[in-house]
Structure 1
Amino acid sequence: MNRVYRVVWNSSQGLWSVASELAGGAGKSKTKACVVAAALLGLAGSAAAACTVGGNPIVCSATGTQTTIVGAGPGTSFAQVLDVQTGALISTGITTAVSLSDNATISIGNGAVVENSADNTGAGLWNSGANTIEFQSGTHLTIAQGGSVIAHGSEGTAEAINAMGTDNVIVNHGLIRSQGGGAAIWFQPSSGSNTVFNGPTGTIEHQGGAGNIIGMAAGTMAITFTNQGQLIGSLNFTGGDDTLNLHTGSSITGSVNGGAGNNLLTLNGTGTGSFARPISNFQTLVKNDAGTWTFGSALQGAGITSTQVAGGTLILDADASNYTGSMTVDAAGTLQTSAEFAPLAITDNGLVRFAQIDDVSYAGLLSGAGGIEKTGAGTLTLTRDQATTGLTTITAGTLQLGDAGPTSTTGSVAGDIANNAALVLNRSNALVLAGTISGTGSVTQLGGGTTTFIADNSYTGGTTITAGTLQLGNGGTTGGVVGDIVNNATLAVNRSNTLNLAGAISGSGALRQMGVGTTVLSGANTYGGATTVAAGTLKAAAIDTFSANSAHTVAVGATLDTAGFSQRVAALRNAGTVSLLGTAAGSTLTITGAYVGDNGVLKLGTVLGGNASLSDRLVLSGSGASASGHTTLQITNLGGLGAQTSGSGIEVVSAVNGATTTAQTSRDAFALANGHVDAGAFEYRLHAADAQGAGESWYLRSETTVAPPTAAPPTAAPPTVA
């Protein structure tokens, strides 16, 4: 085939260069060529040739500068191998530097440079501008670290790399630069696919970052672009289904536009990365691998309709509250956001972390098998019943369930809670928390509703009841807390078995024993509200564990049990059973206010003996203390053998410091069960007042039950025998 060439002056090299003027196919047009005979190519190309042209492979070494075009463009040199070795230089002035056809393999070594300086001087072998490197289809181009491909010229249709066909792979670990003319990389065809990989040491640049890094003809060309390095300029795709893979450590200085088609953006790597550039026309965002990416662009503004966190952490650093696409967090993934930025619907099978430094409510819904984490010093308020079943972790700040209003009827989490900061419950209606609450944090019942704990919780930061009711258990065998409780509303217990509350209960609130089980108090309780034993048993485990500031009420069928430990209460109304029985007699239950017997039972342990015998006692103390109503005393003999009492007898109800008991009036406040209790040969009965009939106390006095011996009839004298 005959060829024609143009001769041009290479100002950077200080010599004339010869370039082909043959049209190589449809493309971008050029003008102003100077045509010469084919012989000129051989004359000019041999002066400083550093490449072994004419064979396969072509090897370019550092022995000199290659100043003429390598390759013959379209339709020639199929499967050509080009090895531009370390330190080699191909510098062709205004002509194309490398022009190959299909299935080529091009390697640019460390320190090697391939460059030209096209300035609107010709169309190139492909009739597509004097590109620095150009090729057709199926070609693999690799630029090593330290290697460079540079288009110095200002020609708008001359790129550093121009792929004329499809199925090409460009791998860059060095530098690809367009000095100010065309794009750094141009894809000529209107369909098919091509791949670009920019490695960690790679830079692809449109000089100054003002232009496009890549360009392509209109159509459906699909580009897969992977960036681990630096992109200086904008990245604009056109009509195909494109994929942009960004890795941690990479950067882009310009905007990113996916163009038409269905486009995918992936964030990858094991380190940390950030993306906050203007972005548009990407439909799918996927976060892969174990690294952390901060995404600072608005999802809805980018056109994204599907977001997946497949692995690692995705931090949403822009407002996505208006995002209406799907948001899915896989098992290995974490989505980090804040309440004001979070999408309103999230499928959470991994972890959603709210990094909340201020106080904000979240009205969205999380569903799935994943967990929730609250970090930051602020308060996150959940106003919907979340449907995730994984662990909820409170690392810092406050997690509040419900928004405090009188109509606040939603706001909850399912599953266990690891609370190392603060959990606040602020509902106006019933809330049941079935999961276990652990950690070092605190819990506050703030709303006017009732919160029920189903699990035996182990958190150690204390419990505060500000309003409403905190209920432990729901009629079963679990539901409890550890540690102290500040109770300014209502603490209720509804268990069917034994629950030990070892912490101190303080505050102005009330205690309600609801379940059929036994609640054992062992702390130094000082709360001031009412104590109601509606069912089951409220039992003491130490002296003065019943609050001396609380008025106690015992319902029918319920029991207040001191277990033999002396107690003091403010008042007592007894329609059930009050038991002072322990392992030994001598304990007291002191009441400083009113004691009302509502046909209840008072159980006392007594050593039934003489006057000095020990007995449990009900003590009414103070001028405001009184006993009224009717109470049945049940006396249990604790080892007494029975003896004759003298004087007042064994004191079982004491009235001191001005207290009254009806002992001087109706004498009906107390009655002994069955009228008497027996020990040995003695029968003890209950008496109001002392032996002189004075005072308000009540006593047991004994009488013998053995009848005195009957005297034998006189013996008749025997008859006298006369």
Structure 2
Amino acid sequence: MKKPILPLSQCALLVFCLMAGTAYAQPINFSGGTLPTGNLGPGLSTKIVIVGEQSYGTLALSEGPADAVVNMNEGTAVEIGRRIILPGSSSPKARGTGTIKIEGSTNPGSIQVQDFQFGQSQLGVINFKHTDASGDYVFAPNLLGPGAVNINRAGTTNFAGINTYEGTTSVKAGMLRAASLGGLSPSSDFVLASIATVDTGVRSRKVKSLSNAGTVTLAAGGTAAVLTVAGNYLSDGGAIALNTALGDSNSATEKLVVHGDTSGDTVLNISNLGGSGAQTTGNGILVVEVAGASNGVFSLPAPGYLEVGGFRYDLVKTGNNWYLSTSERTEASPVEASMVCTPSQLGSAAGLVATCAVSLNAAQGVDTPINLNLPATSPRYTTTCGSPIVVAANATQASCTITAVPSTSPDDGDVMAELSIAPPTVPDAYAPSGALAQVQILGNGTPRPGAGAHAVPTMGTVGLVAMASLMGMIGLRRSRKHNGPQG
């Protein structure tokens, strides 16, 4: 026997209309207010079951002008036989919104229903606000009609239905992953924030348009997947991850295909899947294809090229499209690294410091770690030098110090701190150059340079000039006296 529906407006307490085991055999129309499915109170189940065939088994939110909200919190489950209408009004002029919020951390709210239908008013919204980043959260209903989908928190949401909904998919944080053939709606405009990721999964995907300030990854798609943007592609510092078997121009590769226009800057993170490198011919390996105005700029991450099997791949724009094109690698001499300490001699008094500078003969575009052979430990000095010492990108020097420690014995001898450039961890990252860097810390019994010698007084330049003038005048007087008139 079917249980009759209790109109929600007639419920004295809403929770008693939604207790566990209640099977409603007619559509439920919820108009206005908040349906607190995740907060039913002590002793009450958070599971709603709505069953039936045809129009039965339907939950319709916001049939009237008021807004309706369903909160799906931690551990909440809703099972509906056929569909959810969000909002339920069939009129495109209705102003009442219908919103479902899915929250939680380890067991977010779940919905089991065949179809999730956005109403014709285009005021239906589903907000994924959970933080479950395990990758296990699956949303399987088919999303249909004109509505909005928001991924608002750091969780990972797997779309496993056949989705054809229209409207905007806004990924503000976390990850949205396509886990089925129709996981990403081809009729939706996708917008990614800087901390958001869209994973296209193992298949080729199509979206209506794409605004990318985050990351779109095709990494799970081997070397055959294609991301097609039917409209325009706009990037605000976004990135796209692709796989390519780096070889000749016929190499298998994933690609981005844009039927509209491109704009903004995009980094292509390209992973090599099994390619051994080869000389490309013609334009090279096509990775970005643009049918409209090709104003977007695509680049590879630092150092700005890929190297495989002795070949260097550059990302080159030819016409509207972007290609990976190779040139045979020419062996360049590695950058030279040397080290000098100044001053090279310190007394034993406190506060005397020598600066040891590592220098490259050419600046590099990335941080360059330089391995050091460090000085032996000694109570006569301390050092800030460590290995590796990093020369920052676009710089040529990095420095550390050696500081003398005051001698505690009058018979302490000299101590020598020695440093040198060690071979690189990565072959040819740099070439050690220059002599051994040394700092001598003098002992108490060691004469300082020039100690015991007495300075000879000097007249200086001005004194010498004055003396020369005086001697000249004396000589002139004598000459006149000697050559004067005779009596």
- Which residue does the alignment assign to 2:108? 478
Per-residue deviation at 1:542?
3.2
Change (3 A) 1:381 1:641: same
Distance across 2 between alignment mates of 1:486 and 1:410: 18
Distance across 1 between alignment mates of 2:239 and 2:281: 27
- Which residue does the alignment assign to 2:466? none
Per-residue deviation at 1:557?
0.9
Unaligned runs of 5+ in 1: 1-354, 356-373, 417-432, 663-667, 690-694, 709-722
2:436 is the alignment partner of 1:436 = no
2:273 is the alignment partner of 1:661 = no
**What pairs up with 1:266-305 in 2 under 5 angstroms?**
none
Per-residue deviation at 1:383?
6.2
Q: Is the 8 A contact 1:534 1:558 kept in 2?
A: yes
Which amino acid is 1:676 matched to? Y
Which amino acid is 1:508 matched to? P
**What pairs up with 1:374-389 in 2 under 5 angstroms?**
375-376=3-4, 379-382=7-10, 385-386=13-14
Deviates most, 607-616 or 441-450: 441-450
Distance across 1 between alignment mates of 2:37 and 2:275: 59
- Which residue does the alignment assign to 2:286? 651
- What SS does the aligned partner of 1:457 have? strand
Change (3 A) 1:582 1:696: same
- Which residue does the alignment assign to 1:493? 128
Change (3 A) 1:474 1:413: closer
Change (3 A) 1:444 1:474: farther
Count residues with an aligned counterpart.
Answer: 302
Distance across 2 between alignment mates of 1:570 and 1:583: 20
Q: Is the 8 A contact 1:654 1:698 kept in 2?
A: yes
Distance across 1 between alignment mates of 2:79 and 2:6: 24
Q: Is the 8 A contact 1:544 1:565 kept in 2?
A: no
- Which residue does the alignment assign to 1:462? 83
Q: Is the 8 A contact 1:564 1:580 kept in 2?
A: yes
Which amino acid is 2:108 matched to? T
Which amino acid is 1:678 matched to? E
**What pairs up with 1:267-416 in 2 under 5 angstroms?**
375-376=3-4, 379-382=7-10, 385-386=13-14, 391=20, 393-401=22-30, 403-404=31-32, 408=33, 415=40
Per-residue deviation at 1:553?
0.4
- What SS does the aligned partner of 1:582 have? helix
Q: Is the 8 A contact 1:453 1:473 kept in 2?
A: yes
2:315 is the alignment partner of 1:686 = yes
**What pairs up with 1:5-20 in 2 under 5 angstroms?**
none
Which amino acid is 1:528 matched to? E
Per-residue deviation at 1:679?
1.6
Larger radius of gyration: 1
- What SS does the aligned partner of 2:201 have? coil
Which amino acid is 2:322 matched to? W
User: Deviations for 1:458-484, whole angstroms, at most 9, x for unmatched residues?
Assistant: 333222211321122245532111222
Q: Is the 8 A contact 1:606 1:614 kept in 2?
A: yes
Q: Is the 8 A contact 1:392 1:413 kept in 2?
A: no
| Among candidates 195, 209, 233, match of residue 571 of structure 1 | 209
Q: Is the 8 A contact 1:597 1:669 kept in 2?
A: no
Change (3 A) 1:456 1:641: farther
**What pairs up with 1:512-527 in 2 under 5 angstroms?**
512-527=150-165
Q: Is the 8 A contact 1:449 1:469 kept in 2?
A: yes
Change (3 A) 1:456 1:685: farther
Change (3 A) 1:705 1:589: same
Per-residue deviation at 1:574?
0.5
Unaligned runs of 5+ in 2: 52-56, 88-96, 333-487
Which amino acid is 1:647 matched to? G
Change (3 A) 1:610 1:450: same
Identical pairs, percent: 30
Report the TM-score, using the length of structure 2 for normalisation: 0.57
Q: Is the 8 A contact 1:380 1:398 kept in 2?
A: no
Per-residue deviation at 1:387?
6.2
Q: Is the 8 A contact 1:608 1:641 kept in 2?
A: yes
Change (3 A) 1:411 1:627: closer
Which amino acid is 1:480 matched to? S
Q: Is the 8 A contact 1:544 1:566 kept in 2?
A: no
- Which residue does the alignment assign to 1:670? 298
Report the TM-score, using the length of structure 1 for normalisation: 0.39
Distance across 1 between alignment mates of 2:140 and 2:233: 27
Which amino acid is 2:271 matched to? T
RMSD: 3.0
Deviates most, 698-707 or 446-455: 446-455
Q: Is the 8 A contact 1:445 1:470 kept in 2?
A: no
Q: Is the 8 A contact 1:559 1:579 kept in 2?
A: yes
Change (3 A) 1:678 1:563: farther
| Among candidates 56, 69, 75, match of residue 450 of structure 1 | 69
Distance across 1 between alignment mates of 2:297 and 2:165: 29
Which amino acid is 1:612 matched to? N
- Which residue does the alignment assign to 2:337? none
Q: Is the 8 A contact 1:611 1:650 kept in 2?
A: yes
Q: Is the 8 A contact 2:38 2:72 kept in 1?
A: no
| Among candidates 698, 702, 706, match of residue 322 of structure 2 | 698
Change (3 A) 1:571 1:399: closer
**What pairs up with 1:143-154 in 2 under 5 angstroms?**
none
Distance across 1 between alignment mates of 2:85 and 2:218: 31
User: Deviations for 1:304-333, whole angstroms, at most 9, x for unmatched residues?
Assistant: xxxxxxxxxxxxxxxxxxxxxxxxxxxxxx
Q: Is the 8 A contact 2:141 2:161 kept in 1?
A: yes
- Which residue does the alignment assign to 1:248? none
Change (3 A) 1:699 1:413: closer
Per-residue deviation at 1:567?
0.7
- What SS does the aligned partner of 1:530 have? strand
Which one has the bigger helix percentage? 2
Which amino acid is 2:85 matched to? T
Distance across 2 between alignment mates of 1:606 and 1:613: 7
Which amino acid is 2:288 matched to? V
- Which residue does the alignment assign to 2:168? 530
Per-residue deviation at 1:606?
0.8
Distance across 2 between alignment mates of 1:387 and 1:481: 18
User: Deviations for 1:657-706, whole angstroms, at most 9, x for unmatched residues?
Assistant: xx2222xxxxx5211111112222111111111xxxxx311101112224
Q: Is the 8 A contact 2:141 2:160 kept in 1?
A: yes
Q: Is the 8 A contact 1:384 1:411 kept in 2?
A: no
Per-residue deviation at 1:614?
1.1
